[in-house]
């Protein structure tokens, strides 16, 4: 029987990072993963690298370039006649990006001497785990001093829109379309639905998004959500809020989607339908409860907030525990657990996990929203600054969006930063650093920001908290 100091179950952004960090700290480490790529071969990286963050951003960038040919570049005096999109070439590029990065993880495993166990893991109790080969056959039992569960999440399926893998698909299927659907339906106006809907909209699809909730982007700041909805509608997304899907049926021409609103029953005909109503923790087939682990009603493994389960030596990280289902959150939890096992005292603050939605413009935030602060009775000040007052934004031809900063009235400590605009995913890191160090809005206001840059909007918004923005 093989024995390891640490056995990591799952090789997504949480699992593979945890395995590498454990190995760096001198522990004999193995990582079990059952993912198979489109070629039928084992592939590291989990959902994020194989059918999530990475391939979606590859397609997103392609769609941006194509869209800019007809909508942005003419403003710069650049004319391109009869531009076309080769979907097969786009998909080949996406697959190459994925292959490069998944192979890179395999290289990191070799470099750090992490043993890759290719197969399906099942907990047995007493720190024993059965590993069944991908192709079937007898399971191998391994023993570990510590176990890190990083099995991630899977798309939620709904009975009113059963996947057929061809015309009704989940997010994975939406990344593999062989052609641009003339009419595309999306169930769910969350992060995944909006990103995928935006990609295919830019490539030429007529996109209708059906969202059961009456509010758009309920988790985001209200000002950000309102402006984002307006801009996406201007781009051509038909967003229908308060639209509850009641059924769907395949036809010779596509998919008929039935839904209800406050005004009554309605129906929609599309060529393809994406079901993007969220994700759920992937714990059901891991024998979690048989090993003594407790699950919440959603199926997430219950931990103490520091990724420790009720079973000594077993930890859980990423999408399989409570908290935002974000790759970077999973990675940092993986590092923290590895260092805890090694006897160190790592730092991880779930209050400063940044969120990003890769629409155009991008949405990014960290910390509290205004409506959260009001609900909690926190006294705050707000600073606001639009990108239309930023020189770099005008030079680039993209002035949509703004930066909004919330600071504690008494201490001036930064409570939340919300950004809608180009490169918001990059700019938000400044706010995360400031908040991690307990920074104030005055700190951001006193720091020199390079000119001309989009990040100057952060500087001006910080000044605006105190009513002294210079360029508004």
All structural domains of the chain: 2-155+280-351 (3.50.50.60), 159-277 (3.50.50.60), 361-465 (3.30.390.30)
Q: Which two tokens stand for residue 237?
A: 């997304």
Kindly report the length of the chain: 472
- The answer to whether residue 25 scores a pLDDT higher than 90 is yes
- The answer to whether residue 409 scores a pLDDT higher than 90 is yes
pLDDT tens for each residue of 313-348? 999 999 999 999 999 999 999 999 999 999 999 999
Among 350, 418, 451, 471, which one carries the catalytic annotation? 451
What's the rounded Cα separation, in Å, for the pair 13 and 101?
A: 12
What's the rounded Cα separation, in Å, for the pair 92 and 56?
A: 13
- CA distances for 17 relative to 24, 45, 93, 351, 381, angstroms: 11, 10, 25, 21, 38
Phi, psi of 126 (to 5 degrees): 55, 30
pLDDT tens for each residue of 104-162? 999 999 999 999 999 999 999 899 999 999 888 889 999 999 999 999 999 999 999 99
Q: Is residue 451 annotated as a catalytic residue, yes or no?
A: yes
pLDDT tens for each residue of 188-234? 999 999 999 999 999 999 999 999 999 999 999 999 999 999 999 99
Q: Does the predicted model carry a pTM greater than 0.75?
A: yes
pLDDT at 287: 74
CB 415 within 8 A of CB 367: yes
């Amino acid at each position: 029987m093989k024995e390891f100091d640490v056995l990591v179950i799952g090789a997504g952004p949480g699992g593979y990072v945890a395995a590498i960090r454990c190995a760096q700290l001198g522990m004999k480490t193995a990582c079990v993963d059952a993912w198979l790529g489109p070629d039928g071969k084992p592939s590291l990286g989990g959902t994020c690298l194989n059918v999530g963050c990475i391939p979606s951003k590859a397609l997103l960038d392609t769609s941006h370039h194509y869209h800019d040919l007809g909508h942005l570049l003419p403003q710069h005096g650049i004319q391109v006649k009869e531009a076309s999109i080769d979907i097969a070439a786009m998909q080949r590029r996406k697959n190459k990006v994925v292959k490069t990065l998944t192979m890179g993880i395999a290289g990191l495993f070799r470099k750090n001497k992490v043993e890759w166990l290719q197969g399906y893991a099942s907990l047995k109790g007493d720190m024993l785990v059965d590993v069944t080969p991908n192709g079937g056959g007898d399971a191998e039992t391994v023993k570990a001093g510590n176990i890190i569960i990083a099995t991630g999440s899977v798309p939620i399926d709904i009975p009113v829109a059963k996947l057929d893998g061809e015309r009704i698909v989940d997010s994975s299927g939406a990344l593999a379309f062989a052609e641009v659907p003339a009419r595309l339906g999306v169930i769910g106006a969350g992060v995944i639905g909006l990103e995928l809907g935006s990609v295919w909209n830019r490539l030429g699809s007529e996109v209708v998004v059906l969202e059961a909730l009456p509010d758009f982007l309920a988790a985001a700041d209200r000002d950000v959500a309102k402006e984002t909805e307006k801009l996406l509608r201007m781009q051509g997304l038909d967003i229908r809020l308060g639209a509850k899907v009641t059924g769907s049926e395949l036809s010779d021409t596509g998919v008929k989607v039935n839904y209800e609103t406050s005004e009554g029953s309605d129906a929609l005909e599309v060529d393809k339908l994406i079901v993007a109503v969220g994700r759920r923790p992937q714990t059901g087939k891991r024998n979690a409860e048989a090993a003594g682990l407790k699950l919440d009603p959603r199926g997430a493994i219950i931990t103490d907030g520091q990724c420790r389960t009720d079973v000594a030596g077993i930890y859980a990280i990423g999408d399989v525990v409570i908290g935002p289902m974000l790759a970077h959150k999973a990675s940092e939890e993986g590092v923290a657990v590895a260092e805890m096992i090694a006897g160190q005292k790592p730092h991880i603050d779930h209050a400063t996990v940044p969120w990003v939605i890769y629409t155009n413009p991008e949405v990014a935030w960290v910390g509290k929203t205004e409506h959260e602060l009001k609900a909690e009775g926190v006294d705050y000040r707000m600073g606001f600054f639009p990108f239309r007052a930023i020189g770099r934004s005008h030079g680039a031809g993209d002035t949509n969006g703004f930066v909004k900063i919330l600071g504690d009235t008494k201490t001036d400590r930064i409570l939340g930063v919300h950004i809608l605009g180009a490169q918001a995913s990059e700019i938000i890191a400044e706010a995360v650093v400031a908040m991690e160090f307990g920074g104030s809005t005055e700190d951001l206001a006193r720091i020199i920001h390079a000119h001309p840059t989009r990040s100057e909007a952060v500087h001006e918004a910080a000044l605006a908290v105190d009513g002294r923005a210079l360029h508004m």
